[in-house]
Structure 1
Amino acid sequence: MKKISFLFIILIQYLSVSAQEIGLKSEGLNLSLSAKGQLTTLSNPVSGKNYLAMGEKAPLLKIRVGDNWYEPTDATFKSGIIYLIYLPVKITAQVKVVQKKTHLTFELIKIDANDKVNAVIWGPYPTVISKTIGEVVGVVRDGEYAIGIQALNPKTLGGVLKNSEGSVETTGSRGSTAVAQPYGSSLQAFSLDRSEDRKLTVWGRPEMPVKAISNETTLGSKIALFGCAEPQVLSRIGAIELAEGLPHALINGVWFKQSPETGRAYLISDFDETTVDAMLDYTQQAGLASLYHEGPFQSWGHFILDPKSFPNGIAGMKTCVDKATKKGIRIGVHTLSTFINTNDPYVTPIPDQRLSMTGSSVLTENISATAGEIPVASDQYFRDIKSSTLHAVKIGDEIIRFRAVSAQAPYKLLDCQRGVFGTKVSDHSKGEKAGMLFDYPYNTLFPNFELQQEIAGNLGRFFNQTGVSQMDFDGHEGCLSSGEGDYGIQIFADKVIKDTKHTLVNGTSRSSHYYWHLCHYWNWGEPWYGGFRESQGDFRLENQPFLERNYMPNMLGWFLLSSTTTAEDIEWMMARAAGYNAGFALVARYKNLQKNPNTSQLLALVKLWQEAYRSKIFSADQIVRLKNPENDFHLERNQQGWKLYPFKKYKFEHEKKVLQPGEPTFSQWEFANNDTEQPLNFTLTFMGKEGSISNPWIEIDGYFKLELPGEYEAGNSVVCDGTHIKLYNKKGGFVRDIALKQAIPSLKTGKHVIKFDCEFPEEKELSNRFIVKTLGNAETISK
């Protein structure tokens, strides 16, 4: 009877609608679908050019039954619905189509035998476009025309389905909604059935039990497809957001993607109720948009403010926000999304039943409160715990840490520490569950999906109570612990932002397609791994093309302003910001700002450079040079206009020489200062992996000898600004001032000769890099 009913449905559909090609239209895109459910046209209605990659499969919708994928074998169109038939599994899917002026929408509204379909993929849709591929935003463009896909709800994930949890961003990839292909590119999205309990590999943890989300099937999965002239892409996506009820992030009433406020730089600091006024003043001096607290919470999860910094709690933070608002400054706070500290009420004194577990086993015996070994039926979730740093299991309301599980049955958790994190030690009965807690190297735990949503609500409530209006979803990948892949990431951010009753300017540590509509910036690049210029330097610059092709504001990441940061470093950073018209975060703690003797000058330079590039004063040639990290500049402004001074660099190398006895081993270099008389400015870096050189000396123009007695380790740098000499370690951290016996002479115009030598260790391969910088003539900009 089932077979007869299925054939009858097919017959009725064929009687109602002839098996002809289905044509769909919007203002900027014509789409045709064959009678077998394959796209045959993706064309520009103005030029008539078909951008579909011919010879490639292009199913409107693929379905997965069990582990097998199926493409449609028949497609018919009636009353706004495309009926897709899948053989041999005998399944019919109904896709609702709406043809709008700006785009086409496709929504999966019905599947007979829906319980059999565990995943669907929209596409892949192959195109011949290869010039610019926005892998996260899902737009490909060739310089004239663009085609894009947009997921229209959080359950629809832009990207390639690579794993059972639906996690899109993997090593080496930040997104796959659009992907480069040999023929050009492809566009794709997918949805998973999450309505049944599953066992998945979650963030590298195999066979992790993941609870069902009631009624969360593939039904309702929905996408938009559009085409337009390339310059219209951003406005077209904005129109789709409004038409389809997608998040449409505003700031001052303007869509942030088109606002002049996009990508504004901000100050990260450690203010408290007593220092906030001073920090707001510093923020104003630098012309920055917001003051962002680097760590205001005593614990993550409930987001309890640290009473040392905020003794008045929520009221104290609200007072800080009110003070900032009067100055036109936003207050932000930093947290790690769903990371839960072990001192949070979700952990202590009674651990929440919704903490995420990678798996569990049952106790094989009764155990007392004093037992140091815990007998378990299986070692499955306890034996391979390299990814775990806490080695923590939850039994009832007690959390226990263990060293390892025994190698053979009967299995036991060995060397147990009972009642950790303030939980109560107690007896436990045979058959109770011992659950391995999902943790992270920051000594934190994670929530399951239900608790994750509660934590999102906690954040929204905190923002509403305090008026705080900026955050980064740092640690956004923590949402993966729920086993829901990018769905978990997107639904968490979606709830935080929807629960917040005012604009919440936000960024992320993880890019995803739907979240693109929610966020204001992506700001990657940390200052902890090297010097001011070196820490993730290449990474920061490599990010810029990625941001540009995904229609995100250019951002350079975080930079650390310490008590010894110099004007040269600040201008180096600001030159890059000017070249890319980029925002950044300046990490400047209160004590460092108080200690640095040049704080006012440094903050004034930050403000000056921002005013310059936000006013678009630089020429195309200057912008190219400003982008190059090898170039240094100095910027000034007076009544006549702006003056950009380029530095010229002379690079020299000194290596160990094997010469005749008594022959001088020094190196001699020449350079010219063709501009005005100026201070001697040089950097001497001791190159090599290990070891140290001794007693370097520098002689200038045959009459002034600068001796630097002592040992200098590989990676250290000596920096001279003409009046002071400072020593920095290999990470760019200030070590000490080097005392001078007399003032360093200035560089007069003309040619100069420098000699350099040092004592090398016997067996280490070290060299010295000597860079002299001279300030060039001003390039006057009269805007």
Structure 2
Amino acid sequence: MDAAFENRYLRLVVGGDGRSLHFVDRATGRDYCRPGTSFASIVKGGASFAASKAVRDGDSLRLVFGESGVEATLRIESKGDYLTMEVMSVAGEGVDAFNTIDVPLTLKGSLDEPFGACALALDLKSNIHAWPGLCSRLQATSVKRFGFVGAKVAIIGCPPDKMREILKETVNAADEMPHSALGGPWAEDAPEVQGSYLFNFDGITETNADAWIKVARSLGFTQIDFHGGGSFRFGDCRPNPGLYPDGFASMKAAIDKLHAAGIRAGLHTYAFMIAKDCPWVTPVPDPRLACDKVLTLSEPISESATTILVDESTADMSMDTGFFVRNSVTLRIDDELIIYTGLSKKSPYSFTGCTRGAYGTKASAHAKGAKAHHLLECFGLFVPDGDSTLFDEVVQRTADAFNQCGFDNIYLDALDAEDVPGGAENGWHYGSKFAWELCKKLDKPALMEMSTFHHHLWCVRSRMGAWDHPNRSYKRFIDNHCAANDVNKRFFMPSEMGWWAIKAWGGAQVEPTLPDVMEYLCCKCLANDTGYALMLITPEVYQSSPFAQRLAEISRRYEDLRLSKNVPESIKAKLRQPGKEFTLDGDLASGWRFRPIRYDKHKAEAASGASAVWKVTNEFGKQPVRLRIEALLSARQYDAGGNATLAEFSDPAQFAVHHAPPGVKAEMSSAVAPGDVSGSPLRSDPETRMRWRNPPRTPQKRDTNLSCRTVADSGWSSQTRI
């Protein structure tokens, strides 16, 4: 017999054979289930077993999984606007994973559909790959490592315009899930989320706070981010004593000045990562530091020994390290840390070139049989064991910094290293565990972002889109970012336009941030109701750079107008068009209007010929010509003296390294085949001849970019809006 579960909007039906049968909009009777998939399944001994039988008994659904010998019971309850599904029991040995629900839908998960669906994990035992919001398939999984019994999810089916309110109701009712008035289903209601912010890397004190406030106001920004490393230590969040002699109290005094100026302060940590000068590392390393391998000393070592022999194989260990590499060359033996520079992957297994007493620990003798723990590391920082009390202590220290200093925002950078404590397959759990436990310890809701995103982080996240800044093709990058941010609307998540930097000359691969780029960025921010962040601007840089001041004024005018909410949707819709450019005349105080603007570009490659002539059609009213001339870099002429020879192609032995897929063999040999071409240009115009045989030139700046700026003589203003 089929088992049906209903609430106000939804009717969910599981077949007696264990298959997903119906997902029905009760208002219309339309079924959105894509039939043929088992409602649940288990993984045992590497094999998958689908549910073969489903029997309802009140709110319970008993599932049988074929020949596996495993049965499970779910409790499915109606909560009015949504269903909850909780694992009550799993009977049978050897279950590695339990896929508690799988309902494929004919829905695409878009806001313009008549019905929407969402599966929401209510604890850290249930993993769901789809982000909360509108989706096209309902799935949830629990694994043995974190336990099956008690794993709980909510199932929502409703019109899309009801989804966010039902998600609020669901999160509020969840016992284990944190909720934030600035995150998840509430994020779109919070005006703070739309503020733009300025990065600070070296610390803001009572002494320099006024200077930072001035810079923020000059940009129209309402938030400043305190990036760790300079102002405070990663891990225990200890304020830099050189800047904050009274610790948290000194930092709070600086933040109080920001608050008095109407500016929010952000705590920018590296999540649970631990700096190597923390008390958890030195002078006595904490045994709760995470490791991925424990080895046994084959013989005793003295306090000065530089070679360490171990019983276990080191064949799977690596010497590769780097900022993003999940690996270290550090061992913990008793109360000593040791850095090695080599290892033997063949018996006798050993670590060589050892530096004893690393990171301020004490070099000591160690007995045969002592354990050598290979520490985990990423971003140049150590990691706590994800299941230890040290993990909880890092959470508490982060909460202490937020609460005692009066911070308003949190950016959990380096949370993308959540895979380090327990492997990539379990990263979702440890990253979410850190964020959830942190939010539960905060005295007030935090405007929260992080460097990764998945299902469980949604309920505490406030905005998306913190991309790193590009180095060129800025306007195309902005359009791509806007398109990516549009996707976040189906998850009810506000966006920002990422981390930007004002760049002057930065070499051949970096384009300068010119005024039209800044205006394009700020215009798209206004059109899409999003803020942005700015790096590398300090009071000293701002004061000494008229260029930065000019761009800041553009930002201020746009930000003031954006945050005022005075620009109607009819105008913002025009400004949102990809590739379309506009200029803002005036500002919020004096009156404003937007006018279409066009920037034509042309590259002059020679003093004469086709590229030396440029014709531009002005599609607007009569106006003076406005030009910007930019000197470009180019390579010297082919036959210029002093050029470096990369390859002469005279000896095949020059190319000794060859790579080819299995079964493919390639050889290189010298060959000269005379042809019937002259090697002379077919065209005789001056520009072509110049390209063939220009004399050597010393200057490297050769090409020139010309930009012609034309502006419409009318537009949309605060007085006349169309």
Change in CA separation of 1:240 and 1:765 when aligned onto 2, cut-off 3 Å: same
Q: In the alignment, is the contact (CA less than 8 A) between 1:525 and 1:556 conserved in 2?
A: yes
Change in CA separation of 1:382 and 1:76 when aligned onto 2, cut-off 3 Å: closer
Change in CA separation of 1:538 and 1:780 when aligned onto 2, cut-off 3 Å: closer
Matched residue SS, 2:301: coil
Q: 1:144 aligns with which of 114, 124, 127?
A: 114
Q: Please give the per-residue CA displacement for 1:553-601, whole angstroms capped at 9, x wherever unaligned.
A: 1211011246896644432220121232212112232222222336666
Change in CA separation of 1:43 and 1:611 when aligned onto 2, cut-off 3 Å: farther
User: Which residue in the other structure is 2:555 paired with?
Assistant: 606
- Return 5+ residue gaps in structure 1 as ranges: 1-19, 133-140, 160-174, 195-215, 658-662, 695-710, 712-754
Distance in 2, Cα, partners of 1:413 & 1:253: 48
**How is 1:691-730 mapped onto 2 (pairs within 5 angstroms)?**
691=635
Distance in 2, Cα, partners of 1:403 & 1:347: 20
Change in CA separation of 1:581 and 1:251 when aligned onto 2, cut-off 3 Å: same
Q: 1:574 aligns with which of 515, 522, 527?
A: 522
Confirm or deny that 1:125 pairs with 2:125: no
Confirm or deny that 1:543 pairs with 2:484: yes
User: Which residue in the other structure is 2:647 paired with?
Assistant: none
Confirm or deny that 1:404 pairs with 2:352: no
Q: Please give the per-residue CA displacement for 1:304-337, whole angstroms capped at 9, x wherever unaligned.
A: 1112332332111111222223333221121211
Structure 1 length normalisation: TM-score? 0.76
**How is 1:296-445 mapped onto 2 (pairs within 5 angstroms)?**
296-380=230-314, 383-386=317-320, 387=325, 390-440=328-378, 442-445=379-382
Distance in 2, Cα, partners of 1:125 & 1:347: 48
User: Which residue in the other structure is 1:89 paired with?
Assistant: 68
Q: In the alignment, is the contact (CA less than 8 A) between 1:297 and 1:303 conserved in 2?
A: no
Change in CA separation of 1:516 and 1:638 when aligned onto 2, cut-off 3 Å: closer
User: Which residue in the other structure is 1:684 paired with?
Assistant: 630
Q: Please give the per-residue CA displacement for 1:718-775, whole angstroms capped at 9, x wherever unaligned.
A: xxxxxxxxxxxxxxxxxxxxxxxxxxxxxxxxxxxxx9x9979799999655332223
Confirm or deny that 1:495 pairs with 2:441: no
Distance in 2, Cα, partners of 1:433 & 1:686: 60
User: Which residue in the other structure is 2:12 paired with?
Assistant: 31
User: Which residue in the other structure is 1:155 paired with?
Assistant: 125
How many residues matched?
A: 644
Q: Please give the per-residue CA displacement for 1:203-226, whole angstroms capped at 9, x wherever unaligned.
A: xxxxxxxxxxxxx41111111111
Distance in 1, Cα, partners of 2:438 & 2:696: 58
Distance apart, 1:150 and its partner CA: 0.8
Q: Please give the per-residue CA displacement for 1:176-204, whole angstroms capped at 9, x wherever unaligned.
A: 77999xxxx3221211122xxxxxxxxxx
Q: In the alignment, is the contact (CA less than 8 A) between 1:177 and 1:188 conserved in 2?
A: no
User: Which residue in the other structure is 2:421 paired with?
Assistant: 482
Change in CA separation of 1:53 and 1:767 when aligned onto 2, cut-off 3 Å: farther
Distance in 2, Cα, partners of 1:277 & 1:505: 23
Change in CA separation of 1:131 and 1:444 when aligned onto 2, cut-off 3 Å: closer
Moved more, 236-245 or 539-548: 539-548
User: Which residue in the other structure is 1:652 paired with?
Assistant: 602
Confirm or deny that 1:623 pairs with 2:573: yes
Matched residue SS, 1:143: coil
Question: Letter of the aligned partner of 1:98 in structure 2?
Answer: E
Confirm or deny that 1:560 pairs with 2:501: yes
Q: 1:264 aligns with which of 182, 189, 195?
A: 195
Change in CA separation of 1:562 and 1:34 when aligned onto 2, cut-off 3 Å: same
Distance in 1, Cα, partners of 2:108 & 2:117: 11
Matched residue SS, 2:194: coil
Question: Letter of the aligned partner of 1:500 in structure 2?
Answer: L
Distance in 2, Cα, partners of 1:356 & 1:538: 42
Distance in 1, Cα, partners of 2:64 & 2:587: 69
Distance in 1, Cα, partners of 2:56 & 2:339: 60
Distance apart, 1:621 and its partner CA: 6.6
Q: 2:532 aligns with which of 578, 581, 584?
A: 584
Change in CA separation of 1:231 and 1:653 when aligned onto 2, cut-off 3 Å: same
Confirm or deny that 1:511 pairs with 2:453: yes
Q: In the alignment, is the contact (CA less than 8 A) between 2:636 and 2:697 conserved in 1?
A: no
Moved more, 608-617 or 644-653: 608-617
Matched residue SS, 1:394: strand
Q: Please give the per-residue CA displacement for 1:609-651, whole angstroms capped at 9, x wherever unaligned.
A: 2343442525547535445256353342378842112321223
User: Which residue in the other structure is 2:465 paired with?
Assistant: 523
Q: Please give the per-residue CA displacement for 1:23-49, whole angstroms capped at 9, x wherever unaligned.
A: 111122111111122221101111111
Q: 1:472 aligns with which of 397, 411, 415?
A: 411
Moved more, 401-410 or 514-523: 401-410
Question: Letter of the aligned partner of 1:32 in structure 2?
Answer: V
Give the number of the structure whose residues are more often strand, by fraction.
Answer: 1
**How high is the sequence identity, in percent, across the aligned residues?**
21
Change in CA separation of 1:654 and 1:598 when aligned onto 2, cut-off 3 Å: closer
Question: Letter of the aligned partner of 2:13 in structure 1?
Answer: S
Distance in 1, Cα, partners of 2:62 & 2:588: 70
Q: In the alignment, is the contact (CA less than 8 A) between 2:54 and 2:61 conserved in 1?
A: yes
Confirm or deny that 1:278 pairs with 2:211: yes
Q: Please give the per-residue CA displacement for 1:151-191, whole angstroms capped at 9, x wherever unaligned.
A: 111221111xxxxxxxxxxxxxxx577999xxxx3221211
Q: 1:669 aligns with which of 614, 629, 644?
A: 614
User: Which residue in the other structure is 2:141 paired with?
Assistant: 190
User: Which residue in the other structure is 1:237 paired with?
Assistant: 167
- Return 5+ residue gaps in structure 2 as ranges: 505-511, 644-686
Distance apart, 1:112 and its partner CA: 2.3
User: Which residue in the other structure is 2:651 paired with?
Assistant: none
**How is 1:175-254 mapped onto 2 (pairs within 5 angstroms)?**
185-194=136-145, 216-245=146-175, 246-251=177-182
User: Which residue in the other structure is 2:655 paired with?
Assistant: none
Question: Letter of the aligned partner of 1:243 in structure 2?
Answer: A
Q: Please give the per-residue CA displacement for 1:43-94, whole angstroms capped at 9, x wherever unaligned.
A: 111111100013x3141x3222232222222222223111112232232211
Moved more, 517-526 or 122-131: 122-131
Q: In the alignment, is the contact (CA less than 8 A) between 1:266 and 1:288 conserved in 2?
A: yes
Distance in 1, Cα, partners of 2:34 & 2:617: 58
Distance in 2, Cα, partners of 1:178 & 1:634: 36
Change in CA separation of 1:680 and 1:515 when aligned onto 2, cut-off 3 Å: same
User: Which residue in the other structure is 1:452 paired with?
Assistant: 391
Distance apart, 1:363 and its partner CA: 1.0
Confirm or deny that 1:51 pairs with 2:2: no
Distance in 2, Cα, partners of 1:562 & 1:369: 51
Change in CA separation of 1:769 and 1:396 when aligned onto 2, cut-off 3 Å: same
Matched residue SS, 2:55: strand
User: Which residue in the other structure is 1:8 paired with?
Assistant: none
Distance in 1, Cα, partners of 2:490 & 2:134: 12
